[in-house]
Amino acid sequence: MTRIAVDAMGGDHAPDEIVRGCVAAGARGHDVVLVGDEAVLGPLLDSLGASLPVVHAPEAIRMDEDPRRALREKKEASVVVAARLVAEGEAQGFLSAGSTGAAMAAAAFVVGRLPGVSRPAIASIFPTGTIVLDAGANLTVRPEHLVQFAVMGSAVSQVYHGVDRPRVGLLNIGEEPGKGRELEKATHELLRRTPGIDFVGNVEGRDIIGDVTEVIVTDGFTGNVLLKTAEGVARGLYQMILQAVSGPEYQEALAVLMPAFLELRDRLDYDNVGGGHLVGVDGVVVIAHGSANRRAIASAVALAADAVDKNLVGRVARGIAAVEA
Protein backbone atom coordinates (compact mmCIF):
# COMPACT_ATOMS: atom_id res chain seq x y z
CA MET A 1 0.00 0.00 0.00
CA THR A 2 1.12 3.55 -0.73
CA ARG A 3 2.55 5.08 2.44
CA ILE A 4 2.56 8.85 3.00
CA ALA A 5 4.87 10.38 5.61
CA VAL A 6 3.37 13.48 7.24
CA ASP A 7 5.32 16.23 8.96
CA ALA A 8 3.15 16.31 12.08
CA MET A 9 4.97 19.27 13.64
CA GLY A 10 4.61 21.70 10.72
CA GLY A 11 1.75 24.17 10.36
CA ASP A 12 -0.11 26.85 12.28
CA HIS A 13 -2.32 24.25 13.96
CA ALA A 14 0.25 21.51 14.46
CA PRO A 15 0.27 18.96 15.79
CA ASP A 16 -3.43 18.71 16.76
CA GLU A 17 -5.10 19.43 13.42
CA ILE A 18 -2.40 17.57 11.50
CA VAL A 19 -2.87 14.45 13.58
CA ARG A 20 -6.66 14.64 13.40
CA GLY A 21 -6.47 14.96 9.63
CA CYS A 22 -4.16 11.96 9.42
CA VAL A 23 -6.48 9.92 11.62
CA ALA A 24 -9.34 10.77 9.26
CA ALA A 25 -7.20 9.81 6.26
CA GLY A 26 -6.30 6.53 7.95
CA ALA A 27 -9.97 5.79 8.55
CA ARG A 28 -10.51 6.19 4.79
CA GLY A 29 -7.94 3.51 4.06
CA HIS A 30 -4.75 5.52 3.55
CA ASP A 31 -1.45 4.33 5.00
CA VAL A 32 -0.08 7.28 6.98
CA VAL A 33 3.00 7.58 9.15
CA LEU A 34 3.35 10.56 11.48
CA VAL A 35 6.77 12.18 11.78
CA GLY A 36 7.47 14.22 14.90
CA ASP A 37 8.12 14.21 18.63
CA GLU A 38 6.89 10.88 20.06
CA ALA A 39 6.42 12.47 23.48
CA VAL A 40 3.86 14.84 21.96
CA LEU A 41 2.26 12.64 19.31
CA GLY A 42 1.79 9.51 21.45
CA PRO A 43 -0.46 11.13 24.07
CA LEU A 44 -2.35 13.03 21.37
CA LEU A 45 -3.13 9.80 19.52
CA ASP A 46 -4.16 8.18 22.80
CA SER A 47 -6.54 11.04 23.56
CA LEU A 48 -8.17 10.49 20.16
CA GLY A 49 -8.39 6.75 20.67
CA ALA A 50 -6.36 6.33 17.47
CA SER A 51 -3.35 4.32 16.44
CA LEU A 52 -0.96 5.45 13.71
CA PRO A 53 2.73 4.64 13.28
CA VAL A 54 5.08 7.38 14.50
CA VAL A 55 8.66 8.01 13.41
CA HIS A 56 10.43 10.08 16.04
CA ALA A 57 11.85 13.46 15.01
CA PRO A 58 12.95 15.54 18.01
CA GLU A 59 13.12 18.89 16.21
CA ALA A 60 10.86 21.11 14.12
CA ILE A 61 11.60 24.00 11.77
CA ARG A 62 9.69 27.18 12.56
CA MET A 63 8.07 29.36 9.91
CA ASP A 64 10.43 32.26 10.69
CA GLU A 65 13.67 30.25 10.34
CA ASP A 66 15.91 30.44 7.29
CA PRO A 67 15.14 27.13 5.52
CA ARG A 68 18.63 26.27 4.28
CA ARG A 69 20.31 27.13 7.55
CA ALA A 70 17.66 25.23 9.51
CA LEU A 71 18.20 22.14 7.36
CA ARG A 72 21.92 22.24 8.09
CA GLU A 73 21.45 22.75 11.83
CA LYS A 74 18.38 20.56 12.40
CA LYS A 75 19.13 17.33 10.60
CA GLU A 76 16.48 15.51 12.67
CA ALA A 77 13.71 18.03 12.08
CA SER A 78 10.35 16.47 11.27
CA VAL A 79 10.24 17.69 7.65
CA VAL A 80 13.77 16.40 7.03
CA VAL A 81 12.99 12.99 8.50
CA ALA A 82 9.80 12.79 6.43
CA ALA A 83 11.80 13.54 3.27
CA ARG A 84 14.40 10.96 4.30
CA LEU A 85 11.71 8.28 4.55
CA VAL A 86 10.86 8.96 0.90
CA ALA A 87 14.51 8.99 -0.18
CA GLU A 88 15.09 5.65 1.57
CA GLY A 89 11.94 4.05 0.16
CA GLU A 90 10.19 3.74 3.52
CA ALA A 91 7.40 6.02 2.23
CA GLN A 92 6.31 6.88 -1.28
CA GLY A 93 5.44 10.51 -0.60
CA PHE A 94 5.53 13.16 2.09
CA LEU A 95 3.30 16.02 3.14
CA SER A 96 4.02 19.17 5.12
CA ALA A 97 1.98 22.20 6.17
CA GLY A 98 5.02 23.79 7.75
CA SER A 99 7.54 26.19 6.26
CA THR A 100 7.21 26.01 2.47
CA GLY A 101 10.89 26.89 2.09
CA ALA A 102 11.93 24.11 4.45
CA ALA A 103 9.74 21.54 2.69
CA MET A 104 11.12 22.61 -0.70
CA ALA A 105 14.70 22.47 0.55
CA ALA A 106 14.19 19.05 2.14
CA ALA A 107 12.62 17.78 -1.07
CA ALA A 108 15.43 19.16 -3.25
CA PHE A 109 18.39 18.16 -1.08
CA VAL A 110 17.13 14.97 0.61
CA VAL A 111 14.76 13.46 -1.96
CA GLY A 112 16.61 15.06 -4.89
CA ARG A 113 15.61 16.66 -8.18
CA LEU A 114 14.68 14.72 -11.26
CA PRO A 115 17.35 14.71 -13.99
CA GLY A 116 17.18 17.82 -16.14
CA VAL A 117 14.91 19.81 -13.81
CA SER A 118 16.26 23.30 -13.14
CA ARG A 119 13.62 24.51 -10.69
CA PRO A 120 10.97 22.40 -8.93
CA ALA A 121 7.63 24.23 -8.84
CA ILE A 122 4.41 24.14 -6.85
CA ALA A 123 1.47 23.02 -8.97
CA SER A 124 -1.82 24.15 -7.43
CA ILE A 125 -5.06 22.52 -8.58
CA PHE A 126 -7.78 25.18 -8.48
CA PRO A 127 -11.38 24.22 -7.62
CA THR A 128 -12.20 24.86 -11.29
CA GLY A 129 -9.72 22.12 -12.23
CA THR A 130 -7.19 24.52 -13.73
CA ILE A 131 -3.59 23.79 -12.71
CA VAL A 132 -1.43 26.83 -11.97
CA LEU A 133 2.32 26.73 -11.48
CA ASP A 134 4.44 28.08 -10.06
CA ALA A 135 2.28 28.86 -7.02
CA GLY A 136 5.09 30.09 -4.80
CA ALA A 137 8.33 28.13 -5.07
CA ASN A 138 10.27 30.47 -7.38
CA LEU A 139 9.76 34.22 -7.06
CA THR A 140 12.01 34.97 -10.03
CA VAL A 141 12.33 32.77 -13.10
CA ARG A 142 13.76 32.65 -16.61
CA PRO A 143 11.85 31.68 -19.77
CA GLU A 144 13.38 28.19 -19.83
CA HIS A 145 12.07 27.58 -16.31
CA LEU A 146 8.54 28.40 -17.44
CA VAL A 147 8.89 25.92 -20.29
CA GLN A 148 9.74 23.22 -17.76
CA PHE A 149 6.77 24.32 -15.64
CA ALA A 150 4.59 23.81 -18.72
CA VAL A 151 5.91 20.27 -19.11
CA MET A 152 5.48 19.44 -15.43
CA GLY A 153 2.03 21.03 -15.26
CA SER A 154 1.00 18.99 -18.29
CA ALA A 155 1.97 15.82 -16.41
CA VAL A 156 -0.17 16.87 -13.44
CA SER A 157 -3.06 17.52 -15.81
CA GLN A 158 -2.62 14.11 -17.44
CA VAL A 159 -2.97 12.52 -14.00
CA TYR A 160 -5.97 14.55 -12.81
CA HIS A 161 -7.79 15.40 -16.06
CA GLY A 162 -6.97 12.29 -18.08
CA VAL A 163 -6.04 14.53 -21.03
CA ASP A 164 -3.27 13.26 -23.31
CA ARG A 165 -2.24 16.75 -24.52
CA PRO A 166 -3.30 19.34 -21.95
CA ARG A 167 -3.56 22.92 -23.20
CA VAL A 168 -1.01 25.29 -21.68
CA GLY A 169 -1.46 29.06 -21.32
CA LEU A 170 1.05 31.72 -20.26
CA LEU A 171 -0.39 34.10 -17.64
CA ASN A 172 -0.17 37.66 -18.92
CA ILE A 173 -1.95 41.05 -18.93
CA GLY A 174 -3.39 40.48 -22.40
CA GLU A 175 -3.83 37.80 -25.04
CA GLU A 176 -1.62 39.38 -27.72
CA PRO A 177 1.87 37.82 -28.16
CA GLY A 178 3.62 41.18 -27.58
CA LYS A 179 2.07 41.77 -24.15
CA GLY A 180 3.83 41.65 -20.81
CA ARG A 181 7.34 41.99 -19.51
CA GLU A 182 10.44 40.73 -21.30
CA LEU A 183 9.97 37.48 -19.35
CA GLU A 184 6.54 36.83 -20.86
CA LYS A 185 7.58 37.93 -24.37
CA ALA A 186 10.59 35.62 -24.42
CA THR A 187 8.65 32.77 -22.83
CA HIS A 188 5.83 33.10 -25.36
CA GLU A 189 8.27 32.59 -28.23
CA LEU A 190 10.03 29.70 -26.48
CA LEU A 191 6.79 27.89 -25.65
CA ARG A 192 5.56 28.39 -29.21
CA ARG A 193 8.68 26.66 -30.54
CA THR A 194 8.84 23.81 -28.00
CA PRO A 195 7.52 20.49 -29.36
CA GLY A 196 5.28 18.37 -27.16
CA ILE A 197 3.54 21.34 -25.49
CA ASP A 198 0.04 22.29 -26.63
CA PHE A 199 0.59 26.02 -26.16
CA VAL A 200 -2.56 28.12 -26.62
CA GLY A 201 -0.84 31.49 -26.09
CA ASN A 202 -1.29 34.17 -23.46
CA VAL A 203 -4.16 33.87 -20.98
CA GLU A 204 -5.43 36.21 -18.27
CA GLY A 205 -6.40 35.70 -14.64
CA ARG A 206 -10.07 35.31 -15.55
CA ASP A 207 -9.17 32.21 -17.56
CA ILE A 208 -8.74 30.10 -14.42
CA ILE A 209 -12.50 29.70 -14.91
CA GLY A 210 -13.78 28.38 -18.21
CA ASP A 211 -12.62 26.09 -20.99
CA VAL A 212 -9.57 27.96 -22.25
CA THR A 213 -6.74 25.86 -20.87
CA GLU A 214 -5.92 23.07 -18.43
CA VAL A 215 -2.55 24.48 -17.31
CA ILE A 216 -1.40 28.06 -16.63
CA VAL A 217 2.28 28.89 -16.09
CA THR A 218 3.76 31.95 -14.41
CA ASP A 219 6.43 32.96 -11.90
CA GLY A 220 5.98 31.95 -8.26
CA PHE A 221 5.27 35.47 -6.99
CA THR A 222 2.44 36.08 -9.46
CA GLY A 223 1.10 32.54 -9.10
CA ASN A 224 0.94 32.75 -5.32
CA VAL A 225 -0.88 36.10 -5.46
CA LEU A 226 -3.34 34.59 -7.96
CA LEU A 227 -3.91 31.57 -5.71
CA LYS A 228 -4.49 33.58 -2.53
CA THR A 229 -6.72 36.07 -4.35
CA ALA A 230 -8.84 33.30 -5.84
CA GLU A 231 -9.21 31.64 -2.43
CA GLY A 232 -10.35 34.90 -0.87
CA VAL A 233 -12.77 35.68 -3.68
CA ALA A 234 -14.28 32.18 -3.51
CA ARG A 235 -14.91 32.43 0.23
CA GLY A 236 -16.17 36.00 -0.01
CA LEU A 237 -18.48 35.25 -2.92
CA TYR A 238 -20.10 32.36 -1.10
CA GLN A 239 -20.67 34.52 1.99
CA MET A 240 -22.14 37.31 -0.16
CA ILE A 241 -24.58 34.87 -1.75
CA LEU A 242 -25.73 33.62 1.65
CA GLN A 243 -26.13 37.17 2.96
CA ALA A 244 -28.14 38.16 -0.10
CA VAL A 245 -30.72 35.43 0.52
CA SER A 246 -30.77 35.61 4.31
CA GLY A 247 -33.95 37.70 4.55
CA PRO A 248 -37.20 36.12 5.76
CA GLU A 249 -38.76 36.52 2.32
CA TYR A 250 -36.23 34.05 0.89
CA GLN A 251 -36.46 31.31 3.53
CA GLU A 252 -38.85 29.07 1.63
CA ALA A 253 -36.81 29.31 -1.56
CA LEU A 254 -33.58 28.91 0.42
CA ALA A 255 -34.77 25.58 1.85
CA VAL A 256 -35.18 24.30 -1.71
CA LEU A 257 -31.88 25.74 -2.97
CA MET A 258 -29.72 24.81 0.03
CA PRO A 259 -28.46 21.50 -1.49
CA ALA A 260 -27.25 23.47 -4.52
CA PHE A 261 -25.57 26.06 -2.25
CA LEU A 262 -23.83 23.31 -0.30
CA GLU A 263 -22.60 21.74 -3.53
CA LEU A 264 -21.26 25.13 -4.64
CA ARG A 265 -19.52 25.58 -1.29
CA ASP A 266 -17.83 22.20 -1.67
CA ARG A 267 -16.70 23.02 -5.22
CA LEU A 268 -15.15 26.30 -4.05
CA ASP A 269 -13.57 24.86 -0.91
CA TYR A 270 -9.78 24.55 -1.25
CA ASP A 271 -9.77 22.21 1.73
CA ASN A 272 -11.14 19.55 -0.61
CA VAL A 273 -7.83 19.64 -2.51
CA GLY A 274 -5.63 20.11 0.52
CA GLY A 275 -2.38 21.30 -1.03
CA GLY A 276 -0.21 21.62 -4.10
CA HIS A 277 2.30 19.24 -5.65
CA LEU A 278 5.97 20.17 -5.57
CA VAL A 279 6.83 18.79 -9.00
CA GLY A 280 10.32 18.25 -10.35
CA VAL A 281 11.67 16.22 -7.42
CA ASP A 282 12.23 12.46 -7.37
CA GLY A 283 9.27 11.66 -5.16
CA VAL A 284 5.76 12.80 -4.43
CA VAL A 285 5.74 15.92 -2.24
CA VAL A 286 2.60 17.82 -1.27
CA ILE A 287 2.78 21.23 0.37
CA ALA A 288 -0.30 22.30 2.31
CA HIS A 289 -1.22 25.77 3.56
CA GLY A 290 0.25 26.71 6.92
CA SER A 291 -3.33 27.28 8.12
CA ALA A 292 -4.46 23.82 6.97
CA ASN A 293 -7.14 22.23 9.14
CA ARG A 294 -7.92 18.55 9.58
CA ARG A 295 -10.09 18.41 6.44
CA ALA A 296 -7.34 19.93 4.32
CA ILE A 297 -4.76 17.51 5.73
CA ALA A 298 -6.97 14.48 5.03
CA SER A 299 -7.49 15.75 1.47
CA ALA A 300 -3.77 16.38 1.02
CA VAL A 301 -2.94 12.81 2.10
CA ALA A 302 -5.39 11.53 -0.52
CA LEU A 303 -3.84 13.88 -3.11
CA ALA A 304 -0.36 12.53 -2.40
CA ALA A 305 -1.46 8.90 -2.47
CA ASP A 306 -3.28 9.41 -5.78
CA ALA A 307 -0.16 10.94 -7.33
CA VAL A 308 1.91 7.93 -6.28
CA ASP A 309 -0.65 5.46 -7.61
CA LYS A 310 -0.84 7.29 -10.97
CA ASN A 311 2.95 7.65 -11.29
CA LEU A 312 3.07 11.43 -11.40
CA VAL A 313 6.84 11.48 -10.88
CA GLY A 314 7.40 9.12 -13.79
CA ARG A 315 5.21 11.24 -16.07
CA VAL A 316 7.13 14.39 -15.14
CA ALA A 317 10.47 12.65 -15.70
CA ARG A 318 9.45 11.43 -19.16
CA GLY A 319 8.15 14.89 -20.11
CA ILE A 320 11.34 16.64 -19.05
CA ALA A 321 13.50 14.04 -20.83
CA ALA A 322 11.53 14.51 -24.06
CA VAL A 323 11.97 18.30 -23.99
CA GLU A 324 15.65 18.09 -23.07
CA ALA A 325 16.40 15.56 -25.83
How far, in Å, CA of 25 to CA of 32, rounded? 8
The ranges of the chain annotated as CATH 3.40.718.10 are: 1-117+280-310, 119-271
Percent of the chain with pLDDT over 70: 100
How far, in Å, CA of 307 to CA of 121, rounded? 15
Q: Which pLDDT does position 325 carry in this prediction?
A: 63
Average pLDDT over residues 186-206: 94
Q: Is the peptide bond before 134 cis (omega within 30 degrees of 0)?
A: yes
Average pLDDT over residues 127-151: 93
* Residue 305 bridge partners (DSSP): none
The pLDDT-based confidence of 72 (bands split at 50, 70, 90) is confident
The pLDDT-based confidence of 28 (bands split at 50, 70, 90) is very high
Q: Which residues contact 318 (CB under 8 A, 6 or more apart)?
A: 155
Average pLDDT over residues 301-320: 94
Question: What CATH topology corresponds to 119-271?
Answer: Isopropylmalate Dehydrogenase (3.40.718)
Average pLDDT over residues 248-260: 83
Task: Return the CATH architecture of domain 1-117+280-310.
Answer: 3-Layer(aba) Sandwich (3.40)
Whether the pLDDT of residue 264 is over 90: the answer is no
If phi > 0 it is left, if psi is from -120 to 50 it is alpha, else beta; for residue 33 that is beta
Q: Which residues contact 43 (CB under 8 A, 6 or more apart)?
A: none
Q: pTM (2 decimals)? A: 0.90
Q: What is the mean pLDDT of the chain?
A: 91
Burial of 7 (0-12, 13-18, 19+ CB in 10 A): buried
Average pLDDT over residues 237-243: 83
If phi > 0 it is left, if psi is from -120 to 50 it is alpha, else beta; for residue 311 that is left
Q: Which pLDDT does position 314 carry in this prediction?
A: 95
